Amino acid sequence: MLTRNHLFTGAAALVALSLGGPAGAQEPIKIGELNSYKVFSAFLEPYKKGWEMAVEEINASGGVLGRKIEIVSRDDNGNPGDAVRAAEELLSSQKVAFLIGTFPSNVGLAVADFAKQRKTLFIAAEPLTDKIVWEAGNAYTFRLRTSTYMQTAMLIADAVKLNKKRWAIVYPNYEYGQSATAAFKKLLSAKQPGVEFVTEQAPPLGKIDAGAVAQALADAKPEAIFSSLFGADLAKFVREGQQRGVFKGVEVFNLLAGEPEYLDPLKEEAPEGWYVTGYPWSEIKTPEHAKFLAAYQAKYKDYPRLGSVVGYSTVMSAVAAIKKTGSLDQYKLITAMSGLQHMTPFGNVTYRALDHQSTMGAYVGRIAVKDGKGYMKDWRFVDGKDALPSDEEVRKMRPAN
């Protein structure tokens, strides 16, 4: 009795499905981008502005290989399953040349494996996990951003200099926090034998019970704290810790806390004296950054966040690869990516042939407060290539392919 209606709706849906991707003109070079825009919007909105600006610049200067570029962007919902489907859609329906993007580790790893399966270049913009270039590395995946290991290694020099014996650790309970903690313990123990890790707290991401955690850390009487918290967890931890006097006489190291995404919301409560990695955007005077900053502020009437730099640089990497290759052949693209050098707002970066990690560096410094706002003082730029383990160690971790 429902035959006709069923058929009709079904047919309509299926037609709509097959028309989903217009097999349009091949004029611009399409690059597929996917990210968890709704799940990690604090970082990814500036990121999106970054890549949009890059696309505009490239196209204004005539594009690449005489063609304009176009980014086809998808939201992966922070979910590897959705991400792989979106990636498939980008490749099959949108006919993009290759893939860029992703934020959380699990999505990055899933898409990296998908890229390997589809023999397609994938430039992982954001995911910090070390595995994406090491244990789970593959021929088709390259990663731009300074990884967990690198950022941790950048802070080690300062940590060793302080020569504190008793360390407490707090990290969000998932890949990034776990690997940051593991890297920190390994690196510090190697440089400073006899160091003691007195307590470890692993609150669930986004759901820290900050008062209890701060108290538990204080109870262990540490001389220093290593934290990889960020976002709302960081803000809660800072406030509770300060109100409870947890940070008095204790040195604190915190990955990422100097990034404007996470530092600026703290405003006047930004914890002074903390050792952090971050992005002191207003004080970087290199010509490449000055140019980027001016363009960004002119376009958006807002200052860039670290995400903006990452988004901008990812597209620049993609374009540099196409330029070097002179075609869109996957094999040639990944060959070009190995050892590819190009300019970013953070200076020259190289995608190492060894493990496909870029040498993008990061800024290390200490948090200070001025005019009711946190900023990074005494900062220095650490080149990524100086924060990586020896080639031999990397070879041991990375499967041959």
Site for another protein in 192-211 (CB under 8 A): 199-204, 206-207, 209-211
**Number of residues located near another protein, criterion CB under 8 A:** 89
Q: Which helix (H) or strand (E) holds 236?
A: helix 231-243
In the set 99, 100, 235, 360, which binds another protein (CB under 8 A)?
Answer: 235
CA–CA separation, 268 vs 257, rounded Å?
Answer: 14
Distance in angstroms (rounded) separating the CA atoms of residues 313 and 315 = 5
Using CB atoms within 10 Å of the CB of residue 128, give its burial: 0 to 12 exposed, 13 to 18 middle, 19+ buried. Answer: buried
Choose among 110, 24, 112, 115: nearest CA to 70: 24
Task: For the CB of residue 45, give the shortest distance to another protein in the complex, in Å.
Answer: 5
Q: By C-alpha distance, which of 103, 128, 93 is closest to 48?
A: 103
3 state DSSP class of 342:
strand
Site for another protein in 267-326 (CB under 8 A): 267, 269
Q: Tokens in use for 228?
A: 């990889």
**Torsion 30-300-144-339 (CA) sign:** positive
Q: In the set 2, 25, 298, 400, which binds another protein (CB under 8 A)?
A: 2
Using CB under 8 A as the binding rule, whether residue 383 contacts another protein is answered as no
Contact string 34-73 vs another protein (x = CB under 8 A): -x-xx--xx-xx--x------------------------x
Q: Report CA torsion sign: 373, 379, 385, 387.
A: negative
- Determine, following the binding rule CB under 8 A, whether residue 212 of this chain makes contact with another protein: yes
- How far apart are CB 177 and another protein at their closest, in Å? 9
Stretch that binds another protein, among 19-27, 148-156, 284-292, 389-397 (CB under 8 A): 19-27
**CA angle in degrees (0–180, nearest 5) for 356-336-388:** 20
Q: Among residues 18 and 26, whose Cβ is nearest to another protein?
A: 18
The SS3 assignment for 258 reads strand
- From 152-160, 231-239, 272-280, 329-337, span contacting another protein (CB under 8 A): 231-239
* Residue 349 three-state SS: strand
Which residue from 53, 54, 55, 84 is in contact with another protein, where contact means CB under 8 A?
84
213 binding another protein? (CB under 8 A): yes
| Closer residue to another protein, CB minimum distance, 236 or 342 | 236
Which residues, numbered 119-178, are part of the site for another protein (CB under 8 A)?
Answer: 129, 131, 136, 173-175, 178
Which span sits near another protein by CB under 8 A: 4-12, 52-60, 151-159, 345-353? 4-12
CA distance 32 to 15: 24
Pick one of 220, 295, 343, 394: the residue that binds another protein (CB under 8 A). Answer: 220
